[in-house]
Structure 1
């Protein structure tokens, strides 16, 4: 157990977010001896938690390790906007890999949010999970005409959504932009409670959790071995790397880089200050502004992304200026809101140049699997990864997995 109110700095995140949890009722200590299991998951954040819940439900003997308290890395820095829309538009992906392949990935992303919603309901995980529409705003790079073209492609892919022109957007949401796409099927949650709820389900099925760090990986024929910082080792039928933006040396991709993002949470707002349907808001630009509400009526707004910035003190030094910039954008977006920051935080995330995740087998390392490069679709792609990797472990492969493979070529 840990104190969720503690403000900490780590490589992954800095500051304090509004997410709270009673933790995971499991001892969290280094491994005391060498052990074996069916699947070892390296990382006990939301990606590892989704993986552990699914694999234990399938009957696997699962072990998780993490160098930090579960969920206290990049998960607690997430704004948990569970969008099925991908950072790169369907039109962008169509130009690079063709419409059918791009549409297939978009549809799978849409089903991933629906699958996560069903899982949360089935397992009765208390995490403020709520289905929300998304509002994708026109920006300087992408105007109303481009949004209508994007919507036409989505409809061709049998994906939902509608275009709002300037007048409709202003009248319905009070937002002054050239236009927007309004789409159902996204969601929001408290990411820390979601991760801990999933871990609790996995632990109840026999999963084991240890405070340790992997320092060396090796393939052992039909199995894999991992040496830990404690000096002990774990032998597993498969190893899954779910370590946030931190790619081990054995994982390489020309598509992957690292960015930092800042976010803040306002005080609880008067109901009239919150927009219709409390939609998830984001912009049609590369480094986009994003906003959502919380169960207790706060507005969470984020953006101001920068490349790199893995040093927590450096991000902390930029925090006041980033918060001021975000508050200025909130005042433009929602002037009737209380424009104040109650909490400010930052986090580091991995992203790819094509907007698609890196999921699958680690090239040249049999029985090692990885999930990285989620960008703004963190939890949605985490769910997707848990299903893909479970099937790969079982020996099943679908042709479209090549479109998210770790060694796919740059477009």
Structure 2
């Protein structure tokens, strides 16, 4: 995501110190794989490729993890943005269920990384709650619950009489071990630290301004005139893909976030589980390691180059008021950080992973939708194997031309 798409003071880049500054490119170099983008997606790719001993260079045009990564809530859940039934108009039920299971696999991958490398990013496993406060949506939530139970997912169905939360809940789907949370800024830097020790070369403040496709590879040129040659490039730039394609991959909206000052208790919020409501433009809530509440939602259509500050202030006030209404037992709720940014979604709620259909030197890892980090992990796993000659059938779910025709 370009920095123009991020507005306000994001929580994670303000509460954390910069653990390491990477050099900018000052010479021409060669590698096998060129990763474009130094956010969480690029760092995940760097980790999986370097783990396979593939020679890689990562190039970030600005500062590591200061683009869209700085505003992600990292409220990680295996489920997709829309319900299984709603998604059937765009993709078979089988595909969405497969995506759910792949989401669980990606969550397991994060857990394995933490167990191996240590928890330097405030990682926590979490149960998740999808709920509605509207009587007319009870049947929809119950149907989602029944579909998940039928297909082997661990879940419970909550009703108003079994509601343990302090907010109005007419129906809820409670998924055990259905998610996780972490600090995306720390996570990105931890991944790059581990990967650098395995040979990944990282350059920040190194913007790629031109791509040249050669007979036997690809070459990128940077702002200061230095070049990197490789066999392929992988685009991990979020929504800023204009240098590589004229295609508009997703529908952009602007989403708003607030983070409160640390609170003294979490009454009415058992387990501090991850929470999402069932609204068409839904709201989501999590807590942080330093006892803040992080809330997001109130999405509006994204208009390039235009930022409406009055509209943003109204959205932040609505989010703060919603938290206070939901959690009356938490008395010291006060928003401290307020920020917003572009968010892209697709019809089937899935990102794009794989080779450009018309250029086998151009690969993409674009984690669109709310599951961007989990999709990036799947991309790191499957694309590194693809580079070594093994095609994973699950890549077909994320293929770039799946909406063509």
With the length of structure 2 as denominator, give the TM-score of the two structures: 0.92
Which residue, 361, 364, 367 being the options, matches 1:370? 364
- Which residue does the alignment assign to 2:324? 331
Which residues of 2 match residues 12-411 of structure 1 at below 5 A? 12-19=5-12, 20-29=15-24, 31-138=25-132, 143-169=137-163, 172-185=164-177, 186-210=179-203, 211-251=205-245, 253=247, 256-273=250-267, 275-311=269-305, 314=307, 316-337=309-330, 338-409=332-403
With the length of structure 1 as denominator, give the TM-score of the two structures: 0.91
CA contact (8 A) 1:260 1:347 kept: yes
CA contact (8 A) 1:217 1:224 kept: yes
Distance 1:202 1:21 in 2: 21
CA contact (8 A) 1:221 1:366 kept: no
Distance 2:366 2:258 in 1: 25
Q: What's the secondary structure of 1:360's corresponding residue?
A: strand
Distance 1:371 1:315 in 2: 31
Runs of 4+ with >4 A deviation: 139-142, 252-255
Instruction: Specify every segment of 5 or more residues in structure 2 that has no aligned partner in the other structure, as ranges.
Output: none
Distance 1:269 1:182 in 2: 25
CA contact (8 A) 2:209 2:243 kept: no
Structure 2 CA distance for partners of 1:207 and 1:373, relative to 1, 3 Å? closer
Q: What's the secondary structure of 1:369's corresponding residue?
A: strand
Structure 2 CA distance for partners of 1:147 and 1:408, relative to 1, 3 Å? same
Q: What's the secondary structure of 2:257's corresponding residue?
A: strand
How far did 1:246 drift?
A: 1.0
1:211-257 deviation digits (Å, cap 9, x = unpaired): 21122223324422222222222111221111122123533556512
Distance 2:70 2:96 in 1: 31
Distance 1:205 1:373 in 2: 24
Distance 1:326 1:104 in 2: 33
Distance 2:264 2:44 in 1: 35
Structure 2 CA distance for partners of 1:286 and 1:225, relative to 1, 3 Å? farther
